[in-house]
């Protein structure tokens, strides 16, 4: 079910990024200041190295009692990052999010970060598609997405 809307049209074109050496306190503060649920970790060549989401702070840092001032974000980031290209249909992004139970997708072109698309972005332009995504995730988890 193609929508005719492309990822490029919906994505945030300036995602919030950090380098792998940032400590968890600085990352959490940045997420709060910018009102985002995730950060993309990239290298000096704009290549995606990983992603860290708010739940990573709980499951990987707090639950293991890691010192947030000494722990680098690379220690808790997900390194197997699901990405999408900007010329893909919005439905493809929704399908990936549902298949992998994720709320954000870095957008890459020629292996370089060009944006991010999130569930919030999708809700803004295609609420009906969000219903499909939400239902798919609820089936997998047996819970509500929001």
Full set of structural domains in the chain with CATH: 7-141 (3.10.580.10)
Q: What is the mean pLDDT of residues 117-131?
A: 77
Whole-angstrom distance, CA of residue 139 vs CA of residue 75 = 31
- Per mean pLDDT, which range of 7-11, 58-62, 130-134, 137-141 is the poorest? 137-141
**CB contact at 8 A, 93 and 7:** yes
User: Residue 49: is its pLDDT beyond 50?
Assistant: yes
pLDDT at 133: 54
Q: What is the pLDDT of residue 36?
A: 94
Strand partners, 41: 18, 50
- pTM for the complete prediction? 0.81
Q: Among 42-56, 59-73, 79-93, 119-133, where is mean pLDDT lowest?
A: 119-133
């Amino acid at each position: 079910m193609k929508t005719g809307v492309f990822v490029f049209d919906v994505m945030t074109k300036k995602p919030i990024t950090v380098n792998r050496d940032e400590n968890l306190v600085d990352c959490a503060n940045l997420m709060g200041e910018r009102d985002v649920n995730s950060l993309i970790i990239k290298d000096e060549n704009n290549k995606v190295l990983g992603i860290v989401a708010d739940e990573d702070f709980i499951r990987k840092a707090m639950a293991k009692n890691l010192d947030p001032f000494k722990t680098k974000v690379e220690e808790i980031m997900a390194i197997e990052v699901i990405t999408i290209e900007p010329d893909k249909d919005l439905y493809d992004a929704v399908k990936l999010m549902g298949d992998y139970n994720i709320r954000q997708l870095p957008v890459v072109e020629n292996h370089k970060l060009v944006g991010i698309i999130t569930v919030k972005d999708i809700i803004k332009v295609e609420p009906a598609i969000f219903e499909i995504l939400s239902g798919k995730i609820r089936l997998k988890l047996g819970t509500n997405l929001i």
